[in-house]
Structures are given as structure tokens and as C-alpha cells.
Amino acid sequence: MRNLKTIEGKVKAILEKDEEARNDDMLLYLKVCNTCLKDTGAMPFAEVMLQYRYLGLPSIESVGRTRRKLQAEFPELMGSSRVQKLRAAGEKAYRKYAKE
């Protein structure tokens, strides 16, 4: 649980400062990883993905879930209206898929 609070603090700080990261989970993940381990973005993608635990990086799922939680709690951290609409449509499509 402590680790999730650490991730939450990092994600919130990034969302507060970076509007682009509010709209793009991959950019947010890169920025979170760079705060955990300097120059993660310069490492080969496969190395980061295969060794994220060893490197002390959070999972991409944890970062995405944390972003959703924070944006629900703090509307000022929401993405652009265009991205909000896209996310809502994606959620609706996923719910339909999940019921099949």
C-alpha cells in the first residue's frame, strides 16, 4: 500500500505540472519512470518492459489506475475535453466488449 501512495504522489505532481501527460498515459508513464529512475526514457524499450520490477519502476497498470483515481478526485487534473470524450467512448466500447 505504501508503494501505491508513492506512485500517487509522483503521478499527481506530474499531472499538476504537465497538461500533455493528462492526455496521454504513455507519456505519463514515461515521466513517472523518469522520476523513479533517471534517464529511463533513454533505455531500450524491451529492457524497461522486461525488467521494470528489478529497476524499481511501477507497472503501467498502476500508473493508469492512479491517473484515473486522481482525475476523478481532482477535476482540474482531467485531460482535454477531446480526450475525455475519447476515453468515455473507449470505456463504453470496453464495457460492451466485456459483456459479450
pLDDT category of residue 73 using cuts at 50, 70 and 90: very high
CA distances from 50 to 7, 27, 43, 47, 54 (A): 20, 19, 12, 5, 9
How much is the pLDDT for 28? Answer: 97
- Looking at the predicted structure, is the pLDDT value of residue 79 above 50? yes
Instruction: Locate all alpha helices (DSSP H) within the chain, ordered by sequence.
Output: 2-17, 19-23, 25-36, 45-55, 60-73, 81-99
pLDDT, average across residues 53-75: 95
